[in-house]
Chains A and B, each alone.
Chain A
Amino acid sequence: MSSVPADLLYSTEHEWVGGDAEPGSVVTIGITEHAADALGDVVYVELPSVGDPVTAGEVCGELESSKAVSELYSPVTGTVTAVNEALRHGPGAINAEPYDAGWIFKVEVTEDADLLDAEAYAEHIS
Protein backbone atom coordinates (compact mmCIF):
# COMPACT_ATOMS: atom_id res chain seq x y z
CA MET A 1 0.00 0.00 0.00
CA SER A 2 1.52 3.32 -1.02
CA SER A 3 1.76 6.22 1.37
CA VAL A 4 -0.94 8.94 1.43
CA PRO A 5 0.17 11.72 3.82
CA ALA A 6 -2.72 13.01 5.95
CA ASP A 7 -1.73 16.69 5.67
CA LEU A 8 -2.16 16.91 1.87
CA LEU A 9 -5.14 17.20 -0.46
CA TYR A 10 -5.54 15.07 -3.59
CA SER A 11 -7.07 15.03 -7.06
CA THR A 12 -8.68 12.01 -8.67
CA GLU A 13 -5.90 12.26 -11.32
CA HIS A 14 -3.36 11.39 -8.59
CA GLU A 15 -1.85 14.80 -7.91
CA TRP A 16 -1.23 15.95 -4.36
CA VAL A 17 -1.68 19.54 -3.22
CA GLY A 18 0.21 21.00 -0.26
CA GLY A 19 -1.09 24.20 1.36
CA ASP A 20 -4.49 25.89 1.55
CA ALA A 21 -6.26 25.40 -1.78
CA GLU A 22 -8.04 28.73 -1.47
CA PRO A 23 -7.94 31.86 -3.65
CA GLY A 24 -4.86 33.93 -2.86
CA SER A 25 -2.71 31.18 -1.42
CA VAL A 26 0.19 29.40 -3.12
CA VAL A 27 0.07 25.58 -3.19
CA THR A 28 2.74 22.99 -4.03
CA ILE A 29 1.79 20.18 -6.41
CA GLY A 30 3.26 16.78 -7.20
CA ILE A 31 2.10 13.27 -8.09
CA THR A 32 1.25 10.68 -5.47
CA GLU A 33 3.38 7.68 -4.63
CA HIS A 34 0.62 5.51 -6.04
CA ALA A 35 0.90 7.31 -9.40
CA ALA A 36 4.71 7.27 -9.36
CA ASP A 37 4.74 3.52 -8.68
CA ALA A 38 2.27 2.87 -11.47
CA LEU A 39 4.26 4.96 -13.94
CA GLY A 40 7.68 3.48 -13.16
CA ASP A 41 10.94 5.41 -13.23
CA VAL A 42 10.22 8.89 -14.56
CA VAL A 43 12.99 9.75 -17.01
CA TYR A 44 11.67 12.98 -18.52
CA VAL A 45 9.36 15.71 -17.27
CA GLU A 46 7.75 18.41 -19.33
CA LEU A 47 7.04 21.18 -16.86
CA PRO A 48 4.66 24.13 -17.22
CA SER A 49 6.32 27.60 -17.28
CA VAL A 50 6.24 30.18 -14.52
CA GLY A 51 3.41 32.59 -15.30
CA ASP A 52 1.32 30.02 -17.19
CA PRO A 53 -2.37 30.02 -16.34
CA VAL A 54 -3.56 26.55 -15.34
CA THR A 55 -7.09 25.20 -14.96
CA ALA A 56 -8.19 22.47 -12.59
CA GLY A 57 -8.53 19.16 -14.44
CA GLU A 58 -6.61 20.34 -17.50
CA VAL A 59 -3.27 19.08 -18.81
CA CYS A 60 -0.24 21.26 -18.03
CA GLY A 61 2.70 18.90 -18.60
CA GLU A 62 3.91 15.36 -19.21
CA LEU A 63 5.72 12.69 -17.25
CA GLU A 64 7.54 10.04 -19.23
CA SER A 65 8.85 6.68 -18.01
CA SER A 66 10.38 3.70 -19.81
CA LYS A 67 7.01 2.11 -20.16
CA ALA A 68 4.50 4.92 -20.40
CA VAL A 69 3.67 8.58 -20.73
CA SER A 70 1.35 10.24 -18.26
CA GLU A 71 -0.19 13.64 -18.67
CA LEU A 72 0.22 16.00 -15.77
CA TYR A 73 -3.08 17.58 -14.75
CA SER A 74 -3.34 20.70 -12.67
CA PRO A 75 -5.50 19.97 -9.62
CA VAL A 76 -6.23 23.68 -9.11
CA THR A 77 -6.98 26.82 -11.16
CA GLY A 78 -4.53 29.72 -10.97
CA THR A 79 -1.10 30.88 -12.13
CA VAL A 80 2.15 28.91 -12.00
CA THR A 81 4.59 30.68 -9.64
CA ALA A 82 7.44 28.15 -9.59
CA VAL A 83 8.52 24.86 -11.18
CA ASN A 84 10.97 22.32 -9.78
CA GLU A 85 13.92 22.93 -12.11
CA ALA A 86 15.87 20.12 -10.42
CA LEU A 87 13.54 17.61 -12.10
CA ARG A 88 14.93 18.51 -15.53
CA HIS A 89 18.15 16.71 -14.69
CA GLY A 90 16.95 14.51 -11.84
CA PRO A 91 13.40 13.35 -12.60
CA GLY A 92 14.04 10.29 -10.43
CA ALA A 93 13.11 12.40 -7.40
CA ILE A 94 9.48 11.92 -8.42
CA ASN A 95 9.83 8.20 -7.69
CA ALA A 96 12.26 8.46 -4.78
CA GLU A 97 10.55 11.27 -2.84
CA PRO A 98 7.22 12.03 -4.46
CA TYR A 99 5.99 14.15 -1.55
CA ASP A 100 9.25 16.04 -0.97
CA ALA A 101 12.11 16.58 -3.46
CA GLY A 102 9.80 15.29 -6.20
CA TRP A 103 7.40 18.26 -6.04
CA ILE A 104 6.62 19.47 -9.56
CA PHE A 105 5.15 22.99 -9.56
CA LYS A 106 3.54 25.72 -7.43
CA VAL A 107 0.38 27.62 -8.24
CA GLU A 108 -1.19 30.78 -6.87
CA VAL A 109 -4.80 29.67 -6.57
CA THR A 110 -7.54 31.89 -8.00
CA GLU A 111 -10.60 29.64 -7.53
CA ASP A 112 -11.79 27.24 -4.88
CA ALA A 113 -10.75 23.71 -5.80
CA ASP A 114 -12.66 20.48 -5.47
CA LEU A 115 -10.14 18.11 -3.89
CA LEU A 116 -10.11 14.90 -1.86
CA ASP A 117 -8.74 14.57 1.65
CA ALA A 118 -6.26 11.78 2.39
CA GLU A 119 -8.94 9.37 3.52
CA ALA A 120 -11.04 9.90 0.40
CA TYR A 121 -7.98 9.55 -1.87
CA ALA A 122 -6.88 6.36 -0.12
CA GLU A 123 -10.38 5.06 -0.78
CA HIS A 124 -10.13 6.20 -4.43
CA ILE A 125 -6.99 4.10 -5.05
CA SER A 126 -7.96 1.05 -3.01
Chain B
Amino acid sequence: MTRSPLHDEHVALGATLVDFAGWDMPVRYSGDVAEHLAVRTAAGLFDISHMGEIAIRGADAAAGLDAAVVSGMERLQIGRAKYTMLCTPGGGVIDDLIVYRRDWDHFLIVANAANVDTVTAALVERFSTFDATVENITADVSLIAVQGPKAEGIVAAMCTAGADDVRALKNYTWCTVLLQGDVHAMVARTGYTGEDGFEIFVVPADAVEVWRLALALGTPEGLIPCGLSARDTLRLEAGMPLYGHELTLATTPYDAGLAWVVQTGAMRVLLRPGVDGAVSMSAEPVARGDFVGREALAAAKERAVAIEADPASAPEEARILVGLVGSPGRAARAGFAVFMGGRQVGMVSSGAPSPTLGVPVAMAMVHPSAAAVGTVLDVDVRGRSETMTVTTLPLYSRAS
Protein backbone atom coordinates (compact mmCIF):
# COMPACT_ATOMS: atom_id res chain seq x y z
CA MET B 1 0.00 0.00 0.00
CA THR B 2 1.21 3.53 -0.78
CA ARG B 3 2.01 5.67 2.25
CA SER B 4 1.49 9.40 2.42
CA PRO B 5 4.58 11.40 3.44
CA LEU B 6 2.44 12.25 6.51
CA HIS B 7 1.97 8.60 7.49
CA ASP B 8 4.04 8.83 10.69
CA GLU B 9 2.20 12.01 11.71
CA HIS B 10 -1.12 10.18 11.41
CA VAL B 11 0.11 7.24 13.47
CA ALA B 12 1.47 9.59 16.15
CA LEU B 13 -1.92 11.37 16.27
CA GLY B 14 -3.65 8.04 16.90
CA ALA B 15 -5.46 7.88 13.56
CA THR B 16 -7.34 4.80 12.40
CA LEU B 17 -5.92 4.06 8.95
CA VAL B 18 -7.72 2.35 6.08
CA ASP B 19 -6.90 1.27 2.55
CA PHE B 20 -8.32 3.96 0.27
CA ALA B 21 -7.66 3.32 -3.43
CA GLY B 22 -4.38 1.64 -2.54
CA TRP B 23 -3.29 4.34 -0.08
CA ASP B 24 -3.02 3.82 3.68
CA MET B 25 -5.00 6.88 4.76
CA PRO B 26 -6.56 8.18 8.02
CA VAL B 27 -10.30 7.52 8.22
CA ARG B 28 -10.55 9.31 11.58
CA TYR B 29 -8.47 10.69 14.45
CA SER B 30 -10.59 11.77 17.44
CA GLY B 31 -14.03 10.95 16.09
CA ASP B 32 -16.07 11.38 12.89
CA VAL B 33 -18.66 13.70 14.36
CA ALA B 34 -16.25 16.01 16.21
CA GLU B 35 -14.09 16.26 13.07
CA HIS B 36 -17.09 17.03 10.87
CA LEU B 37 -18.38 19.71 13.25
CA ALA B 38 -14.91 21.28 13.62
CA VAL B 39 -14.92 21.97 9.86
CA ARG B 40 -18.42 23.50 10.05
CA THR B 41 -17.61 25.71 13.05
CA ALA B 42 -13.82 26.31 13.07
CA ALA B 43 -11.38 24.38 10.87
CA GLY B 44 -10.21 20.94 9.89
CA LEU B 45 -6.86 19.74 8.55
CA PHE B 46 -6.91 16.98 5.94
CA ASP B 47 -4.15 14.96 4.33
CA ILE B 48 -5.42 14.36 0.79
CA SER B 49 -2.09 13.31 -0.68
CA HIS B 50 -3.83 10.29 -2.18
CA MET B 51 -5.46 12.57 -4.76
CA GLY B 52 -3.95 12.21 -8.24
CA GLU B 53 -2.13 15.07 -9.94
CA ILE B 54 -1.49 15.29 -13.67
CA ALA B 55 0.56 18.01 -15.37
CA ILE B 56 -0.12 19.12 -18.95
CA ARG B 57 2.68 21.16 -20.46
CA GLY B 58 3.32 22.42 -23.96
CA ALA B 59 2.24 24.90 -26.61
CA ASP B 60 -1.02 23.02 -27.27
CA ALA B 61 -1.85 22.39 -23.59
CA ALA B 62 -4.95 24.59 -23.65
CA ALA B 63 -6.24 23.50 -27.05
CA GLY B 64 -5.71 19.83 -26.20
CA LEU B 65 -7.43 20.07 -22.85
CA ASP B 66 -10.31 21.98 -24.39
CA ALA B 67 -10.86 19.05 -26.75
CA ALA B 68 -10.43 16.45 -23.99
CA VAL B 69 -12.86 17.59 -21.27
CA VAL B 70 -16.45 18.86 -21.25
CA SER B 71 -15.72 22.46 -20.19
CA GLY B 72 -14.02 25.21 -22.13
CA MET B 73 -10.38 25.51 -21.10
CA GLU B 74 -8.76 27.76 -23.68
CA ARG B 75 -10.01 30.91 -22.02
CA LEU B 76 -9.46 29.83 -18.43
CA GLN B 77 -7.22 32.53 -16.98
CA ILE B 78 -3.86 31.88 -15.35
CA GLY B 79 -4.53 31.89 -11.59
CA ARG B 80 -7.97 30.35 -11.94
CA ALA B 81 -9.33 26.83 -11.55
CA LYS B 82 -12.31 25.02 -13.01
CA TYR B 83 -14.34 21.97 -12.02
CA THR B 84 -14.87 19.72 -15.03
CA MET B 85 -15.28 16.14 -16.19
CA LEU B 86 -13.56 13.74 -18.51
CA CYS B 87 -16.24 11.84 -20.43
CA THR B 88 -16.28 8.90 -22.83
CA PRO B 89 -17.43 9.45 -26.42
CA GLY B 90 -20.79 8.10 -25.18
CA GLY B 91 -21.04 10.82 -22.50
CA GLY B 92 -20.31 8.61 -19.47
CA VAL B 93 -18.13 10.15 -16.77
CA ILE B 94 -14.56 8.78 -16.53
CA ASP B 95 -13.74 11.14 -13.65
CA ASP B 96 -14.48 14.56 -12.25
CA LEU B 97 -11.49 16.89 -12.14
CA ILE B 98 -10.31 20.26 -10.93
CA VAL B 99 -8.12 21.94 -13.52
CA TYR B 100 -5.77 24.74 -12.39
CA ARG B 101 -4.19 26.96 -15.05
CA ARG B 102 -0.59 27.44 -13.92
CA ASP B 103 0.63 29.24 -17.03
CA TRP B 104 -0.39 29.84 -20.62
CA ASP B 105 1.14 26.47 -21.55
CA HIS B 106 0.78 24.60 -18.24
CA PHE B 107 -2.22 23.08 -16.46
CA LEU B 108 -2.39 21.08 -13.22
CA ILE B 109 -5.21 18.55 -12.96
CA VAL B 110 -6.40 16.96 -9.71
CA ALA B 111 -8.15 13.63 -10.24
CA ASN B 112 -9.54 10.96 -7.91
CA ALA B 113 -6.97 8.56 -6.47
CA ALA B 114 -8.72 5.50 -7.87
CA ASN B 115 -8.93 7.03 -11.36
CA VAL B 116 -5.60 8.76 -11.89
CA ASP B 117 -4.13 6.00 -14.06
CA THR B 118 -7.26 5.80 -16.22
CA VAL B 119 -7.42 9.58 -16.55
CA THR B 120 -3.73 9.82 -17.43
CA ALA B 121 -4.09 7.12 -20.08
CA ALA B 122 -7.16 8.79 -21.60
CA LEU B 123 -5.45 12.18 -21.67
CA VAL B 124 -2.28 10.73 -23.24
CA GLU B 125 -4.44 9.29 -25.99
CA ARG B 126 -6.44 12.48 -26.46
CA PHE B 127 -3.24 14.55 -26.62
CA SER B 128 -1.63 12.33 -29.26
CA THR B 129 -2.29 14.93 -31.96
CA PHE B 130 -1.38 17.93 -29.79
CA ASP B 131 2.00 19.45 -28.96
CA ALA B 132 1.90 18.93 -25.18
CA THR B 133 2.97 16.32 -22.62
CA VAL B 134 0.72 14.56 -20.12
CA GLU B 135 2.47 13.42 -16.96
CA ASN B 136 1.15 11.71 -13.81
CA ILE B 137 2.98 13.66 -11.08
CA THR B 138 1.05 12.27 -8.08
CA ALA B 139 4.25 11.06 -6.41
CA ASP B 140 5.76 14.56 -6.62
CA VAL B 141 2.85 16.40 -4.99
CA SER B 142 1.47 16.36 -1.45
CA LEU B 143 -1.92 17.92 -0.92
CA ILE B 144 -3.00 19.29 2.45
CA ALA B 145 -6.43 20.89 2.91
CA VAL B 146 -7.39 23.45 5.55
CA GLN B 147 -11.16 23.81 5.52
CA GLY B 148 -13.64 25.75 7.62
CA PRO B 149 -14.59 29.31 8.57
CA LYS B 150 -11.23 29.82 10.35
CA ALA B 151 -9.20 28.51 7.38
CA GLU B 152 -8.38 31.88 5.84
CA GLY B 153 -6.77 33.26 9.00
CA ILE B 154 -4.84 30.05 9.61
CA VAL B 155 -3.46 29.74 6.07
CA ALA B 156 -2.60 33.47 5.93
CA ALA B 157 -0.72 33.10 9.24
CA MET B 158 1.27 30.20 7.78
CA CYS B 159 2.71 32.52 5.09
CA THR B 160 5.89 34.55 5.32
CA ALA B 161 5.09 35.99 1.87
CA GLY B 162 1.75 36.03 0.10
CA ALA B 163 -0.64 36.26 3.07
CA ASP B 164 -2.51 39.14 1.43
CA ASP B 165 -2.77 37.16 -1.79
CA VAL B 166 -4.27 34.25 0.18
CA ARG B 167 -6.85 36.52 1.80
CA ALA B 168 -7.73 38.02 -1.58
CA LEU B 169 -8.25 34.66 -3.31
CA LYS B 170 -11.74 34.12 -4.69
CA ASN B 171 -13.27 30.65 -4.88
CA TYR B 172 -11.57 28.54 -7.52
CA THR B 173 -8.48 30.72 -7.78
CA TRP B 174 -4.93 30.04 -6.59
CA CYS B 175 -1.67 31.81 -5.84
CA THR B 176 1.87 30.88 -4.90
CA VAL B 177 3.18 31.69 -1.43
CA LEU B 178 6.17 31.20 0.80
CA LEU B 179 5.28 29.39 4.02
CA GLN B 180 7.19 29.51 7.31
CA GLY B 181 10.27 27.32 7.02
CA ASP B 182 11.01 28.60 3.50
CA VAL B 183 8.48 26.26 1.93
CA HIS B 184 7.21 27.11 -1.54
CA ALA B 185 3.54 26.25 -1.93
CA MET B 186 0.65 26.69 -4.30
CA VAL B 187 -2.50 27.64 -2.36
CA ALA B 188 -5.94 27.28 -3.96
CA ARG B 189 -9.30 28.33 -2.58
CA THR B 190 -10.90 24.99 -3.40
CA GLY B 191 -12.23 22.10 -1.32
CA TYR B 192 -14.66 19.28 -0.85
CA THR B 193 -16.48 20.17 2.36
CA GLY B 194 -19.03 22.88 1.53
CA GLU B 195 -17.09 25.33 3.71
CA ASP B 196 -14.64 28.04 2.81
CA GLY B 197 -11.19 26.52 2.64
CA PHE B 198 -7.86 26.02 0.95
CA GLU B 199 -5.87 23.25 -0.63
CA ILE B 200 -2.10 23.54 -0.25
CA PHE B 201 0.15 21.87 -2.84
CA VAL B 202 3.73 21.18 -1.72
CA VAL B 203 6.51 18.76 -2.59
CA PRO B 204 6.41 15.61 -0.42
CA ALA B 205 9.67 16.57 1.33
CA ASP B 206 7.90 19.64 2.79
CA ALA B 207 4.63 17.94 3.75
CA VAL B 208 5.50 17.18 7.39
CA GLU B 209 6.66 20.75 8.02
CA VAL B 210 3.50 22.23 6.51
CA TRP B 211 1.24 19.78 8.38
CA ARG B 212 2.87 20.63 11.73
CA LEU B 213 2.74 24.35 10.96
CA ALA B 214 -0.99 24.18 10.20
CA LEU B 215 -1.61 22.21 13.41
CA ALA B 216 0.49 24.60 15.52
CA LEU B 217 -1.19 27.74 14.19
CA GLY B 218 -4.63 26.22 13.78
CA THR B 219 -5.09 24.41 17.09
CA PRO B 220 -5.68 27.67 19.05
CA GLU B 221 -8.40 28.48 16.47
CA GLY B 222 -10.15 25.16 16.98
CA LEU B 223 -8.57 23.30 14.05
CA ILE B 224 -8.27 19.52 14.43
CA PRO B 225 -6.97 16.86 12.05
CA CYS B 226 -9.82 15.24 10.11
CA GLY B 227 -10.06 11.91 8.32
CA LEU B 228 -11.77 10.58 5.23
CA SER B 229 -14.94 9.73 7.15
CA ALA B 230 -15.57 13.40 7.99
CA ARG B 231 -14.57 14.36 4.43
CA ASP B 232 -17.29 12.04 3.12
CA THR B 233 -20.11 13.29 5.38
CA LEU B 234 -19.07 16.92 4.73
CA ARG B 235 -19.21 16.50 0.94
CA LEU B 236 -22.49 14.57 1.20
CA GLU B 237 -24.15 17.41 3.15
CA ALA B 238 -22.73 19.86 0.60
CA GLY B 239 -24.34 17.83 -2.22
CA MET B 240 -20.95 17.26 -3.88
CA PRO B 241 -20.73 14.15 -6.06
CA LEU B 242 -18.28 11.33 -5.35
CA TYR B 243 -16.96 9.30 -8.23
CA GLY B 244 -18.28 5.73 -8.13
CA HIS B 245 -21.42 6.93 -6.33
CA GLU B 246 -23.09 9.90 -8.06
CA LEU B 247 -20.78 9.80 -11.07
CA THR B 248 -20.01 6.64 -13.06
CA LEU B 249 -19.33 5.55 -16.61
CA ALA B 250 -23.08 4.90 -16.85
CA THR B 251 -24.11 8.43 -15.84
CA THR B 252 -23.82 11.65 -17.82
CA PRO B 253 -23.23 15.00 -16.10
CA TYR B 254 -26.93 15.71 -16.78
CA ASP B 255 -28.07 12.64 -14.81
CA ALA B 256 -26.04 13.90 -11.85
CA GLY B 257 -27.59 17.38 -11.96
CA LEU B 258 -24.33 18.87 -13.21
CA ALA B 259 -25.49 20.22 -16.56
CA TRP B 260 -23.62 23.47 -15.88
CA VAL B 261 -20.28 21.66 -16.15
CA VAL B 262 -20.82 20.91 -19.83
CA GLN B 263 -19.96 23.94 -21.93
CA THR B 264 -20.83 23.77 -25.58
CA GLY B 265 -20.05 27.46 -26.07
CA ALA B 266 -19.32 30.47 -23.90
CA MET B 267 -20.62 34.01 -23.77
CA ARG B 268 -17.78 36.48 -24.21
CA VAL B 269 -18.43 39.70 -22.35
CA LEU B 270 -17.03 42.77 -24.09
CA LEU B 271 -16.38 45.97 -22.20
CA ARG B 272 -15.79 49.09 -24.26
CA PRO B 273 -14.53 52.25 -22.59
CA GLY B 274 -16.48 55.23 -23.85
CA VAL B 275 -16.22 58.97 -23.44
CA ASP B 276 -16.39 60.54 -19.97
CA GLY B 277 -15.64 57.23 -18.22
CA ALA B 278 -18.78 55.52 -19.54
CA VAL B 279 -18.43 51.80 -20.21
CA SER B 280 -20.58 49.90 -22.65
CA MET B 281 -21.03 46.18 -22.18
CA SER B 282 -22.17 43.56 -24.64
CA ALA B 283 -22.04 39.78 -24.79
CA GLU B 284 -21.61 37.49 -27.75
CA PRO B 285 -21.59 33.70 -27.93
CA VAL B 286 -18.25 32.09 -28.73
CA ALA B 287 -18.41 28.61 -30.19
CA ARG B 288 -16.19 25.93 -28.68
CA GLY B 289 -14.38 23.44 -30.80
CA ASP B 290 -15.21 19.76 -30.74
CA PHE B 291 -14.60 17.76 -27.56
CA VAL B 292 -14.86 14.10 -26.65
CA GLY B 293 -18.47 13.23 -25.84
CA ARG B 294 -19.94 16.35 -27.40
CA GLU B 295 -22.51 14.63 -29.61
CA ALA B 296 -23.68 12.21 -26.92
CA LEU B 297 -23.89 15.03 -24.37
CA ALA B 298 -25.92 17.19 -26.74
CA ALA B 299 -28.40 14.29 -27.00
CA ALA B 300 -28.32 13.84 -23.20
CA LYS B 301 -29.10 17.53 -22.83
CA GLU B 302 -32.09 17.22 -25.14
CA ARG B 303 -33.37 14.25 -23.13
CA ALA B 304 -32.85 16.18 -19.87
CA VAL B 305 -34.79 19.18 -21.18
CA ALA B 306 -37.68 16.96 -22.34
CA ILE B 307 -37.74 15.13 -19.01
CA GLU B 308 -37.77 18.38 -17.07
CA ALA B 309 -40.77 19.54 -19.08
CA ASP B 310 -42.66 16.28 -18.52
CA PRO B 311 -41.05 14.07 -15.82
CA ALA B 312 -43.74 11.36 -16.00
CA SER B 313 -42.97 10.72 -19.68
CA ALA B 314 -39.35 9.77 -18.95
CA PRO B 315 -38.38 6.22 -19.91
CA GLU B 316 -38.59 3.68 -17.09
CA GLU B 317 -34.80 3.50 -16.70
CA ALA B 318 -34.23 7.31 -16.60
CA ARG B 319 -32.61 8.56 -13.40
CA ILE B 320 -31.75 11.95 -11.95
CA LEU B 321 -29.99 12.91 -8.77
CA VAL B 322 -32.01 14.09 -5.76
CA GLY B 323 -31.33 14.87 -2.12
CA LEU B 324 -33.22 12.96 0.58
CA VAL B 325 -33.80 13.80 4.24
CA GLY B 326 -35.15 11.31 6.79
CA SER B 327 -36.17 11.29 10.43
CA PRO B 328 -33.82 10.46 13.31
CA GLY B 329 -32.99 6.77 13.22
CA ARG B 330 -31.70 4.26 10.72
CA ALA B 331 -29.81 5.77 7.80
CA ALA B 332 -30.10 4.92 4.11
CA ARG B 333 -26.73 3.89 2.65
CA ALA B 334 -25.29 3.61 -0.85
CA GLY B 335 -26.91 0.82 -2.85
CA PHE B 336 -30.22 0.71 -0.96
CA ALA B 337 -33.35 0.54 -3.13
CA VAL B 338 -35.78 3.49 -3.24
CA PHE B 339 -39.53 2.98 -3.69
CA MET B 340 -42.53 5.19 -4.41
CA GLY B 341 -45.89 3.64 -3.63
CA GLY B 342 -44.41 0.13 -3.72
CA ARG B 343 -42.67 0.56 -7.09
CA GLN B 344 -38.88 0.72 -7.16
CA VAL B 345 -37.88 4.09 -8.62
CA GLY B 346 -34.16 4.18 -7.93
CA MET B 347 -31.20 3.65 -5.68
CA VAL B 348 -29.36 5.53 -2.95
CA SER B 349 -25.94 6.67 -4.23
CA SER B 350 -24.59 8.04 -0.91
CA GLY B 351 -26.13 8.16 2.54
CA ALA B 352 -25.20 8.68 6.18
CA PRO B 353 -26.46 10.20 9.41
CA SER B 354 -25.83 13.94 8.96
CA PRO B 355 -23.75 15.31 11.84
CA THR B 356 -24.87 18.89 11.11
CA LEU B 357 -28.59 18.21 10.63
CA GLY B 358 -28.93 15.35 13.12
CA VAL B 359 -31.01 13.22 10.75
CA PRO B 360 -30.14 10.68 8.04
CA VAL B 361 -29.47 12.29 4.66
CA ALA B 362 -28.78 10.80 1.27
CA MET B 363 -28.33 11.42 -2.40
CA ALA B 364 -30.20 9.07 -4.71
CA MET B 365 -30.62 8.47 -8.43
CA VAL B 366 -34.39 8.20 -8.97
CA HIS B 367 -36.89 8.24 -11.80
CA PRO B 368 -37.79 11.85 -12.74
CA SER B 369 -41.42 11.26 -11.70
CA ALA B 370 -40.16 10.72 -8.14
CA ALA B 371 -37.82 13.69 -8.09
CA ALA B 372 -40.08 16.64 -7.22
CA VAL B 373 -39.12 18.39 -3.98
CA GLY B 374 -41.41 17.20 -1.19
CA THR B 375 -42.05 13.75 -2.70
CA VAL B 376 -42.12 11.12 0.06
CA LEU B 377 -40.15 8.00 -0.82
CA ASP B 378 -39.45 4.73 0.99
CA VAL B 379 -35.94 3.37 1.30
CA ASP B 380 -35.36 -0.30 2.02
CA VAL B 381 -32.93 -0.14 4.96
CA ARG B 382 -31.85 -3.74 5.51
CA GLY B 383 -35.32 -5.20 5.02
CA ARG B 384 -37.31 -2.47 6.75
CA SER B 385 -38.73 0.56 5.05
CA GLU B 386 -37.71 4.05 6.18
CA THR B 387 -39.43 7.19 4.90
CA MET B 388 -37.36 9.99 3.34
CA THR B 389 -38.44 13.21 1.64
CA VAL B 390 -36.97 14.63 -1.57
CA THR B 391 -35.24 17.93 -0.90
CA THR B 392 -33.14 20.41 -2.83
CA LEU B 393 -29.38 19.90 -3.03
CA PRO B 394 -27.18 20.87 -1.31
CA LEU B 395 -28.50 19.49 1.97
CA TYR B 396 -26.38 22.06 3.79
CA SER B 397 -25.16 25.51 2.67
CA ARG B 398 -22.87 27.68 4.68
CA ALA B 399 -24.12 31.12 5.61
CA SER B 400 -22.60 33.50 3.08
A67 touches B27 (CB 8 A): yes
Which A22-69 residues sit within 8 Å CB-CB of chain B? 37-38, 40-41, 43-44, 46, 62, 64-67, 69
Residues of chain A lying within 8 A (CB to CB) of residue B229: 40, 66-67
Which B4-28 residues sit within 8 Å CB-CB of chain A? 16, 27-28
A66 touches B233 (CB 8 A): yes
B31 touches A40 (CB 8 A): yes
B31 touches A95 (CB 8 A): yes
Give Cα A66–Cα B357 distance, bound, in whole angstroms.
Answer: 13
Give Cα A62–Cα B232 distance, bound, in whole angstroms.
Answer: 22
Give Cα A62–Cα B353 distance, bound, in whole angstroms.
Answer: 14
B34 contacts chain A at the CB level, 8 A cutoff: yes
B161 contacts chain A at the CB level, 8 A cutoff: no
- A66-B36, A66-B233, A69-B333 are known contacts. Are A43 and B16 too (CB-CB below 8 A)? no
A contact residues, total (Cβ < 8 Å): 15
Give Cα A69–Cα B386 distance, bound, in whole angstroms.
Answer: 15
14 more contacts with CB within 8 A, not counting A44-B328, A66-B229, are A38-B16, A44-B330, A44-B331, A44-B353, A46-B330, A62-B382, A64-B330, A64-B331, A64-B353, A66-B230, A66-B352, A66-B355, A67-B352, A69-B331
Considering the complex, give the chain B residue whose CB is closest to the CB of A92. Answer: B33
| 20 sampled A-B residue pairs with Cβ under 8 A | A40-B28, A41-B33, A41-B34, A44-B328, A44-B329, A44-B330, A44-B353, A64-B331, A65-B353, A66-B33, A66-B36, A66-B229, A66-B233, A66-B352, A67-B27, A67-B28, A67-B232, A69-B331, A69-B333, A92-B33
Residues of chain A lying within 8 A (CB to CB) of residue B382: 62, 69
B31 touches A41 (CB 8 A): yes
Q: Smallest distance from the beta carbon of B255 to chain A beta carbons, Å?
A: 26
A66 touches B353 (CB 8 A): yes
